[in-house]
Structure 1
Amino acid sequence: MITEGNADQHNIIAPLIKEKLKPYVKKVDLDAFYAEDYLLSLGKAGLFQSPGHIEDKVVYNEMQLVEETAKTCMTTAFNLWCHLASLTYLRCSDKETLKRELLPKLENGETLGATGLSNPMKNYAGLEPLHLQAEGKKEGWILSGNLPSVSNLGKGHWFGAVANTNEGKHLMAFVPCEAEGLKFKEKADYLGVNGSATFACQFNDVFIPEKWIISTNAQQFIKKIRPYFVLYQVPLGLGIIEASIESIRKASRKQGGANCHLTVQADELAEKHAYLRNKLYTLVTGQEWTEILKVRLAVAKLALKAVQADMLHNGGAAYLQKSNPARRLKESYFMANLTPTIRHLEKLLNN
């Protein structure tokens, strides 16, 4: 679904999805194929360009990129979200070196970025301790510890990471995958979303020069970027819901039209989807943190409802491993456990 005024963007992304993503969706789902070429093509097409800082129009357009991608493949849309999160870190940083040397490469399709912030997001919600430790050295920092999972990683990629310092402060660094002392172990044994290039990251005295430090006050910096971190996630669910609604409508004549007796129908889902979608796109300024959390939670729950209905409407055909409803079912449960998870969101909204 493209909002009026963004037809040009749609005309650019539609052929990229058709050529570089749709033919590989089953391979992404079943063979852990990483659609890196598609992600890079978005940058090469100019779809990540910004004035170097957060701007409402840029956020709006990039959210729609996630939504359109998720309708075809939420796994790859999740990778896209990872990349947009990394762009947000640099756009919001006051480090001009990062903006001058790395941001253009991430925006023009030369390389890709990742988030690495699942652990600190949980830490700031009181769910777990920070996993990385930083020790100050001349002209930089030494990072040690382990991150259980970081997605959208590969050769030449960069990712954000937060570490605790000896002084009790938190710093946020931008880390290249080629950094000396950094080891990776691929994680591809999930129920789904195995084509997300996810790795466990072990930091063995990894030196990060000062020029790659995003912020030496990560607590305050994350308060600044977290609305966009979450905003870019919501279209993942919107894409799944819309695809499920389309699938349900196509299945309406199965078995003599018996699907009309099922409790959950496409029109009900479409009405709720439209309401949440309209609400989401009024929040692009990032100012209403609580409302953003509410929409994120509601979309995650509606996605679970939509994919279950899609499975029932398509019957036995949906129960095949290669079916689109089965893929969306796995992807929706991943979104339910994507930081901030449903239980994380419930905790934040009830505190």
Structure 2
Amino acid sequence: MSVDAELAAWLDRNAFSLDTENTLAGELLPRLAAGGLLGAGLAVADGGAGGDVTDGVEAIAAASEHSVAAGFVLWAHRSYIEYLLQSPNAGLRQALLPDLLAGRVAGATGLSNAMKFLSGIEELQVNVRAQADVLDGMLPWVTNLRWQGFHLAVAVARKHRRGAFIASVAHDDAGLSRSADLDIIALRASNTAGVTLSGVQIDAGRVIHPDANVWLPEVRPAFLGLQCGMSIGLARRALAEARGRLAPGRQILTEPVIALTSALVEQESNLREGLRSGMFRAKPEALFKIRIALADIVMQAVGLELQSTGGRGYLRASGASFGRRWREAAFIPVVTPSLVQLKTALAAYRESGAVA
């Protein structure tokens, strides 16, 4: 999959702005919708373009080749859509999908905390009051909280009894407040902020799934797999830039560029196969390893781009695009679940004897 020419030109023209400021934050999602990326991997009956979740991964990769800020927004939005697709709540899905697919309203995953909870890393940060379906809590880092409107998936702990559920809240819910954009060093147009819930009222119609412990392992492969699209797209672009600069004097880099390109293709294949077969549901550690490997490939790829560019990479005029990709690459290891969290989870699997 490739981004259509109009969207590609807009992303290339504005990639630096999308990375360093939030001026175009409100325009980004509608642009991605107009470029046909929001429906990738959704059934035609649901309003999508057909295919499966691997087509969603490829759409995120295609956007990320031009701008990881765009890929990041698309990942958050497409992940929320995936939650609706994997929800038994058909009414909620039918009510929200049209506006989501048109880019009129944003979808925010909000389940990074839940994925860490699933791996035993932290407790859920949103709770339901004992006396009613009223939510309280705080999510300090959520992406795609578009000021023009958003829906947000949250995992909710039942403090008064065992278990947790997944709910959808919205920007205009009484008791929900969005912070100012976080002061992040890159990806500034991604509408990344914190959310506080204080007495947000919901009903059964906004429950994505009643049992988080059952549902989260089912949706985790899509959540992480779609996230891998950012790494794939950024690595592809950095390697393409490096290949384009293998002039005399830098041909020593030819072999490592070829080898790293081959490694990237292999991990992409492993990801597609695992997502299509459903293997990652039973063996999430295999997906963790792919995510870690892709992050390593990204860092090597931007390193090769720098070596192929030389000192020109440090000049503002000639090195602006490389500097942006360097900042984008620095984000890949820390996006939740971070590499440290994934490696911690893998270590726990090994200690339990679940991983060879």
TM interval, shorter chain, is: 0.7 to 0.9
Residues in 2 aligned to 1:120 and 1:17: alpha-carbon distance in whole angstroms: 33
Which of 139, 142, 158 is matched with 2:151 structurally? 158
TM-score norm. by structure 2 comes to 0.87
Structure 2 partner of 1:305: 300
The verdict on how the C-alpha distance between 1:308 and 1:30 changes in structure 2, with shifts beyond 3 A counting, is same
Partner of 1:215: 209
Equivalent residues in 2 for 1:231-310, closer than 5 Å: 231-253=225-247, 257-261=248-252, 265-285=256-276, 287-289=278-280, 290-310=285-305
Q: 1:114·1:159 contact (CA, 8 Å) conserved in 2? A: yes
**For 1:161 and 1:286, how far apart are their aligned partners in 2?**
27
Q: 1:280 to 1:33 in 2, by over 3 A?
A: farther
User: In structure 2, what is the Cα distance between the partners aligned to 1:143 and 1:184?
Assistant: 15
Instruction: Give 2:139's aligned residue.
Output: 147
Distance 1:341 1:151, change over 3 A: same
Contact 2:246 2:253 in 1 (8 A): no
User: SS of the counterpart of 1:281?
Assistant: helix
Query: Could you tell me how far apart the structure 1 residues matched to 2:50 and 2:219 are?
Result: 13
For residues 41 and 189 of structure 1, what CA distance do their matches in structure 2 show?
Answer: 24
Matched letter for residue 268 of structure 1: A
Q: Distance in 1 between matches of 2:275 and 2:47?
A: 14
TM-score by length of 1: 0.88
Distance in 1 between residues matched to 2:172 and 2:107, nearest whole Å: 13
Contact (CA 8 Å) 1:16, 1:41: kept in 2 or not? no
Contact 1:123–1:130 (8 Å) recurs in 2: yes
Change (3 A) 1:43 1:32: closer
Residues 87 and 113 of structure 1 are in contact (CA less than 8 Å); yes or no, is this contact kept in structure 2? yes
What does residue 353 of structure 2 align with? Answer: none
- Residue identity matched to 1:329: W
More deviation, 315-324/64-73: 315-324
Matched with 1:96 is 90
**Structure 2 residue aligned with 1:344:** 341
Matched, 1:81 2:98: no
Q: Distance in 2 between matches of 1:102 and 1:349?
A: 36
Structure 2 residue identity aligned to 1:25 = A
What is the alpha-carbon distance in structure 2 between the residues aligned to residue 264 and residue 288 of structure 1?
33
User: Counterparts of 2:221 and 2:296 in 1: how far apart (Å)?
Assistant: 19
Distance in 1 separating the partners of 2:269 and 2:163: 39
Deviations 1:29-72 (A, max 9, x none): 12234454343244356541424499992312221111110100
Structure 1 unaligned regions, length at least 5: 3-9
Indicate the residue corresponding to 1:37 in structure 2. Answer: 27
DSSP-derived class of the 1:174 partner:
strand
- The alignment status of 1:15 with 2:8, answered yes or no, reads no
Q: Percent identity?
A: 24
Worse-matched range after superposition: 258-267 or 163-172:
258-267
2:187 pairs, out of 184, 193, 198, with 193
Q: Given residue 282 of structure 1, which amino acid in structure 2 is its aligned partner?
A: E
Deviation readout 1:93-150 (Å, 9 max, x if unpaired): 1112102211232123332201001111112212222111112555xx2111111110
What CA deviation, in whole Å up to 9, does each residue of 1:236-270 have, x standing for no partner?
111111111111122223xxx33334597321221
C-alpha contact 1:46 1:107 (8 A) present in aligned 2: no
Residues 133, 103 of structure 1: CA spacing in aligned structure 2 closer, same or farther, 3 A cutoff?
same
**Aligned Cα RMSD in Å?**
2.4
1:244–1:307 Cα contact (<8 Å) kept: yes
User: Are the counterparts in 1 of residues 118 and 216 from structure 2 also a CA contact under 8 Å?
Assistant: no
- Call closer, same or farther: CA 1:43–1:188 in 2, change over 3 Å: same
